[in-house]
Amino acid sequence: MLSDMLPTITEDIGVRSDRESTSTCDGANVEDMLLSMLDERDRLMEGLREAQEQLNITRSRLAEVERERDKVNSQLVSAIPQDVIVLTRRVSELEEQLNERSEEVDELKAERNNTKILLEHLETLVAKHERSLRMTVVKRHTLTPGTPGIAYAPSVTETMAPDADSGLNGMSMKDYGQQVCTGTESPSGTGLSSEVEVLKALKSLFEHHKALDEKVHHRLRAAQNRVTELENALSVARSLSPTESKDSLSKEAQTDESELAKLISAQPTGSIAPHPQTKTMNIPPSTSLSSALSAAAAATQALSQVKELQNNLDQRSNELLLARRQVIELTSRCKEATDSLNFARNELR
């Protein structure tokens, strides 16, 4: 009952004040955070705008560069003559063919080396077993008087028949070695012995590989001749265009000089020496046409030199016309002076 009469004590007044203070602090922090976020957003938007502007500038520059590239390509295509393009393609084709022929030559050289090694091995094998095989055959021949005589010469290449290529097919060097090693123990007593057959097979194999070596030599010589022909054609194709342009330009310069000389010699009085540039017009030929750029440079150089020659010719012709006018004026004045002199003489008389 006492509790009903006593007033209640509120204990959460401090807690409420703390909560209010924390809420105000939180509100201030939230406002600061929002302001910082807005500032950051503004900075990001500004950076995005700058990046977009830079991207637009870069794209415009790229478009300009592409237009310039197309323009330069069109100028290059228009400056390069058609025969230079054809010659460049032909040179590339010849280079590819030359590479193929060089590969074939390397393969032929490797095959030739292998054949040479095999021939040396066969020569050593025949030289090693020649004496023992011949002695065995002689003994067999003396022991079997019923067999017909076999003539032997001092050398193996003279004794063995050249038409024994039938025992060559399907027989390796190992089989030949086994036959040679077991040749003295052959049980055959009639007809030709196994040693003679081995010698015939070795002789036929030797001749076969000798013919193969000659064939390889022939192919190698043909390939080398073909390579030299291709190299000569390539050098001719490279030197064809600049020499033709040089000859045409030199002919034009000579004709221009002859015309100027005729005009000068046709004058009645006075002599006018042509400009030294019209006498000699050295046009350096291009050193090589190994690529399209060098060909284009040579063509543009030749065209520029032709233009310079034409300009020089026009200038010399203008100078020649002026000189002719001066000569005509001088001759007219000279005639007037002679007429006046004659008139004065007549008056004095």
Residue 274: closest CA among 284, 285, 265: 265
Domain end point (choices 186, 201, 236): 236
Least confidently predicted of 57-71, 83-97, 183-197, 200-214: 183-197
Burial class (CB in 10 A: 0-12, 13-18, 19+), 100: exposed
How many CB atoms within 10 Å of residue 5?
6
Burial class (CB in 10 A: 0-12, 13-18, 19+), 324: middle
Token code pair at residue 18 = 């703390």
| 202 and 267 together in one domain | no
What is residue 318's predicted lDDT score, i.e. its pLDDT?
74
Burial call 235-248: b when 16+ CB within 10 Å, e when fewer: eebbeebbeebbee
| 133 and 219 together in one domain | yes
Domain end point (choices 71, 99, 133): 71
Domain interval for residue 212: 82-236
Token code pair at residue 35 = 């302001």
Q: For residue 88, is it within any domain?
A: yes
Q: For residue 13, is it within any domain?
A: no
Residue showing tokens 């022939």: 218
| 44 and 105 together in one domain | no
Q: How confident is the model at residue 250 (pLDDT cuts 50, 70, 90)?
A: low
Q: For residue 280, is it within any domain?
A: yes
| 220 and 246 together in one domain | no
Q: pTM of the prediction?
A: 0.25
Q: For residue 174, is it within any domain?
A: yes
Of residues 78 and 5, the one with the higher pLDDT is 78
How does pLDDT run across 104-159, given as a tens digit for each residue? 788 878 877 877 787 777 777 777 777 776 777 777 778 776 544 444 444 444 34
Q: For residue 160, is it within any domain?
A: yes
d(CA 79, CA 302): 10
What is residue 9's predicted lDDT score, i.e. its pLDDT?
53
Q: For residue 7, is it within any domain?
A: no
Question: Considering the chain, what percentage of its residues have pLDDT values greater than 70?
Answer: 53
| 177 and 39 together in one domain | no
Inter-residue contact 256 to 277 (CB < 8 Å): no
Residue 177: closest CA among 114, 116, 120, 122: 122
| 142 and 114 together in one domain | yes
What is residue 200's predicted lDDT score, i.e. its pLDDT?
66
Domain end point (choices 209, 236, 263): 236
What is residue 298's predicted lDDT score, i.e. its pLDDT?
65
| 116 and 197 together in one domain | yes
d(CA 226, CA 90): 16
| 230 and 150 together in one domain | yes
| 224 and 245 together in one domain | no
| 172 and 89 together in one domain | yes
How does pLDDT run across 37-51, given as a tens digit for each residue? 999 999 999 999 999
Question: Considering the chain, what percentage of its residues have pLDDT values greater than 90?
Answer: 6
Q: For residue 9, is it within any domain?
A: no
d(CA 21, CA 279): 106
| 41 and 86 together in one domain | no
Single-letter amino acid code for the residue at 132: S
d(CA 239, CA 14): 107
- How many domains does the chain fold into? 3
Q: Is 103 a residue whose pLDDT tops 80?
A: yes
DSSP string, 133-189: HHHHHHHHHHH-TTSPP----SSHHHHS-TT-GGGTTT--HHHHHHHHHTGGG----
| 300 and 219 together in one domain | no
Q: For residue 283, is it within any domain?
A: yes
